[in-house]
Structure 1
Amino acid sequence: MIKITRIQGFRGVRKFSTTKTRTYDHILTSTPAEGVFQVTLNRPKALNALCTPLIYELRDAMRTADCDSSIGAIVMTGSERAFAAGADIKEMKDMTFAQAYSQEFIKSWSQATDIRKPVLAAVNGYALGGGCELAMMADIIYAGEKAVFGQPEIKLGIIPGAGGTQRLMRAIGKARAMHFILTGDTFTAEQALAWGLVADVYPVSELVPATVRVAQKIAAQGKLAVQAAKEAINYGTTVGLESGLEYERRLFHSLFATSDQKEGMAAFVEKRQANFEDK
């Protein structure tokens, strides 16, 4: 289905992504701007608490967008009240160790990080527990000014299990991560900005449109270069500096085999807008 949308600053009506949309029970999907796919968590009565069916739907929608050549970036968001207030406690409370272990419970949640296109999280309201972990799986987080982050699992007799102990430590440092994970305390959007967890903070009503604008700007670049840049950065978080530099250099070299490199540099010399064809 083609979603037809009016965008301020463009004349007339433009046809955007041809990504096929389907009806989901726990998420909403849309194409709010050219090259941008948006997925919105939609369990309002549960403050978007994460359950396994929601995660499966999220994975399906994002993989569909990842395979759509017309999509260049993905925006993931929730409501103004809650991005996601945590994992669904009702789903977990009676689970045994044998069940959790044998079923690899919540391992599939991290598959959001397998998406090759940039994923931008627009976080309003609560991003707690699994919600905070899901936001940290995105490549960039933007926050509304009233956003609240935290990993309060310790208050439930457990610890974060979908990357909270690892990604939060890498984002804000060991001492701060230790404090918030061991106490269950929360922190604000402004603190998250100061510590480097989020890229910027916006008024609540402006957050999603601002994030979509950034996503549209990214989508307008050559997809091969964007994908390579994301790959290089993510690889660098798992290895030492020398290995990261070598990997970056190899990806840099490889882009000289693309038509986009020729077009981008020619456009710069000729002082015109580049017309990338993603090849």
Structure 2
Amino acid sequence: MDFIFQTALGTYPLAAQCEMLAETGYQGLTMSAWSSDLKSIPLIKPSWGLDVGAIYLIYRQGLESFVTGIFESVEGCTTIELALHSGETVTDLDRRMLEHLLPVCERRGLRIALYPHARYGMQTTSEAVALCEEFNHPLLSIVFNGYHWYANQEKLLEQRLDAVWPWLHQVNIAGSRRSPLGWGGLATIEPLDEGEMDNFVLMGALLRRGFDGRVGVLGWESMGGDVYGNLQRSEKAFRSMEHRLAAHPEWAVLNELPY
């Protein structure tokens, strides 16, 4: 996700982002809807060999025109990761927005992947599943974000993945530790080789279910250090987990804590 390139000192230019990703072994990126480079999406694959798997977009009251404009104008990307934040919980404003956007998706060949987000109106996987059940639309799906699941302390990983599974389109992961110094006072966002969140177990649970979709790495300016180094470390950690799971999938099946 391109958040990792938005640092406390500024944002890396698109060319630098793509060159870093290609050089460190990534296959694509998710772009934030506030990026000034959305019109360049069709050029990214031919120029750097990277897919733009999704655009990350936030809906809150007052952003109806902006959100609709993204759906109506995007080219070169067919998935919109949509975080809903029109109130303290999911509201009728969110529902009306989805009612408005799904016909646009049908017309333009797009998909909405609901993005549960800590401290937002739609915080949990349970709320995202409820919306998918309510709308029952083939172009409405869910992102399972390991960071937000962990920060929200939803727990019950296997049960939550089973509940999300019929609509699971994509997975995002990050190193993380619960801390008041983290995002929203909940948890930090760190490279994949740091933190207390056990992404190996999450990846093993996905492997057992046959997940073969896109896995994204969540980055954030709070990581510190240099962006290239954080990308490199996360890619190395991901490939290490991938190789271990291929050789020893049983290692990712844990016993319950004894306390």
Considering only CA atoms, is the larger Rg found in Structure 1 or Structure 2? 1
Give me the TM-score of the superposition, normalised by structure 1.
0.33
